[in-house]
Amino acid sequence: MSDISEEIVPQKLTSKDFVPAQDVKWCPGCGDYSILKQVHTIFPELGVKKEDFVFICGIGCSSRFTFYVDSYGLHGIHGRAPAIASGLKASRPELSVWVVTGDGDALSIGGNHFIHMLRKNFDINLLLFNNQIYGLTKGQYSPTSEIGKITKSTPYGSVEQPFNPAELALGAKATFVSRTLDRDPKHMQAILRKSYFHKGASFVEIYQKCPVFNEGAFFMFTDKETKKTESLFVEHGKPLVFGVNDDKGIKLDGFKPVVVDLNENGNSVNDLWIHDEKDRIKANILAGFSDPTPELGHLPRPFGVLYAVDKPTYEDAMAEQIKKITEKKGKPSLNNVLSGDKTWVIG
């Protein structure tokens, strides 16, 4: 009897359960450490058995994540983690599947798999560590590096315009699009939790510091002096407010976002844009708040859940189809398949 009661009482996991014996080998000061810490922190709370977590990664600094969570994991090939994860999730829907990727892995070599995994809406959590640089290959510009970026492969500056990952994810029909930062642990934990509980493909862009090749790329969003004016933390149902004393807000003038000073001209918080994460049109405008956007003027960078809607997942739709057809056709016999329906006898 004692065996049975042991089975029933859920095992209480702690973050230590997810820390493997293996040493973590990222550079000192890398933003990845914070992300790993937050994952270790929230995992015990999710109600998932330790053995049911699977990390599928590609290649790059971020993709080493596979080895740093003590559960199941597959360290794959460059850019292909979403494809590997799709096959796993389609065939094993009960597993909690996580893809960790970087700006080069997801948006350059793996761009096709990235958009299609989101479009097909597998219930997979994809964490994109965006550091706007190639780290593991020692410092070339990435598809999120800004125009003019000086790197080893662009000594005279990059001539390419960068992707805005949130816009790309929305364009790919992602059902959950969010952004957070390595230097804001509490916010990241909240977003990771939401991404887990979202049923469908969850896209989490994490601004991540590369202290070796791209130091300070995102400091303006976390440094005391600039954080309040440069970052906009959005929450569903709440007005878009930012600024040193929460004294600035964003209003919509048609489709155009306008920054207003709440201390001036009788501007009221009641007139501001209320964030509605289910509104696809507004989510697209919000995702567009990225520099440089000359036609909009300078806007703060939004963090939080930009968009979240429920749609059927690929794996559920696939299982449903199998179930329906099996119910309709009944229990099949392999012998019928082998013979087909047109046979003849010789002899």
Partner 1 sequence: MESKFDIIETDSVVVRFSGDSGDGMQLTGMQFTDTTAFLGKDLSTFPEFPAEIRAPAGTLAGVSGFQVNFGSKEIFTPGDQYDVLVAMNAAALENDLKNLKKGGIIITNTAGFDAKNLRLAEYPEGVNPLEDGSLDDYELYKIDVTRLTKDALKDMGLGNKEIERSKNMFVLGVLYWMFDQSPDYTINFINEKFTKNQIIADANIKALKAGVNYGETTEIFNTRFKISASNLPAGNYRSITGNHATAIALIAASEKSGLPLFLGSYPITPASDILHELSKYKEFNVRTFQAEDEISAVCSSIGASYGGSLAVTSTSGPGMSLKTEALGLALMLELPLVVINIQRGGPSTGLPTKTEQSDLLQAMYGRHGESPLPVVASESPADCFYTVYEACRIAAEHMTPVIVLNDGYIANGSEPWKYPTEDELTPINVHFTTTTNNEGGVFLSYKRDEKLVRPWVKPGVKGLEHRIGGLERENETGDISYEAENHEIMVKLRAAKIEKIADYIPLQIVDTGKENAKVCVLGWGSTYGAIKSVVLDLVKEGYDVAHIHLKYLNPFPKNLGELLNGFETILIPEMNNGQLIKVIRDKFLLPAIGLNKIKGLPFTTIEIREKILELLNK
Q: What does residue 244 show for φ and ψ, rounded to 5 degrees?
A: -55, -45
Taking CB under 8 A as the binding criterion, the range among 2-10, 185-193, 249-257, 330-338 that sits at the site for partner 1 is: 330-338
125 binds partner 1 (CB under 8 A): no
10 binds partner 1 (CB under 8 A): no
Pairing of strands 248-253, 241-242: antiparallel
Strands across the sheet with 248-253, in order?
Answer: 241-242, 248-253, 256-261
Q: Which is nearer to partner 1, 83 or 306 (CB)?
A: 83
Taking CB under 8 A as the binding criterion, the range among 79-87, 142-150, 183-191, 206-214 that sits at the site for partner 1 is: 79-87
Candidate residues 37, 44, 67, 171; the one interacting with partner 1 per rule CB under 8 A: 67
Site size toward partner 1, by CB under 8 A: 55
Candidate residues 13, 24, 77, 258; the one interacting with partner 1 per rule CB under 8 A: 77
Three-state secondary structure call for residue 119? helix
201-220: contacts with partner 1 (CB under 8 A): none
Taking CB under 8 A as the binding criterion, the range among 65-73, 156-164, 213-221, 274-282 that sits at the site for partner 1 is: 65-73
92 binds partner 1 (CB under 8 A): yes
- Closest contact distance (angstroms) between CB of 24 and partner 1 is 13
Q: What does residue 231 show for φ and ψ, rounded to 5 degrees?
A: -110, 145
Q: Which is nearer to partner 1, 88 or 133 (CB)?
A: 88
Which region holds residue 216: left if phi is over 0, alpha if psi is between -120 and 50, else beta?
left
326 binds partner 1 (CB under 8 A): yes
14 binds partner 1 (CB under 8 A): no
CA distances to 115, 247, 281, 344 from 128, rounded to whole Å, are 13, 32, 23, 59
72 binds partner 1 (CB under 8 A): yes
User: How far apart, in Å, do the first and last CA atoms of the chain sit?
Assistant: 63
State the Cα–Cα distance between residues 237 and 253, nearest whole angstrom: 19
105-124: contacts with partner 1 (CB under 8 A): 112-113, 116
Q: How far is CA 345 from the centre of its chain?
A: 59
Q: Who's near 297: CB < 8 A, 6+ residues apart?
A: 259
Evaluate whether 87 touches 116 at the Cβ level (below 8 Å). Answer: no
339 binds partner 1 (CB under 8 A): yes
Kindly list the residues in this chain that would bind partner 1 in the complex (CB under 8 A). 20, 22, 49-52, 54-56, 66-67, 70-77, 80, 83-92, 94-95, 112-113, 116, 318, 321-322, 325-326, 329-330, 332, 334-335, 337-340, 342-347
